[in-house]
Amino acid sequence: MRLIELFREHPKTIGMSYLGHMVRALAFSFMLFYAALLCLIHAFFPFLFEHDASNLVSLIKQKMEA
């Protein structure tokens, strides 16, 4: 298997280009990083961001399944 095929195989199975898949995966990673940051703040200040991280994770899940 050629190296370039390794980069295209998975995106093709879900109907995306390599670049489109990369952009979408990066967007999800930034959203998850933001959710992790909200959780970290919430850990020290439980009165802040009580539902924000879980709502964001639910939104990410919906977008991934769409």
Q: How far is it, in rounded angstroms, from Cα 19 to Cα 44?
A: 38
- Residues 47-54 have a mean pLDDT of 97
- Residue 6 burial (CB count, 10 A): 9
What is the tens place of the pLDDT at every residue in 1-48? 688 888 999 999 999 999 999 999 999 999 999 999 999 999 999 999
* Residue 56 clears pLDDT 70, i.e. is over it: yes
For the entire predicted model, the pTM comes to 0.81
* pLDDT the model gives residue 32: 97
Cβ-proximal residues to 61 (8 Å cutoff; 6+ apart), any chain: none
DSSP state of 27: H
pLDDT band of residue 66 (cuts 50, 70, 90) is confident
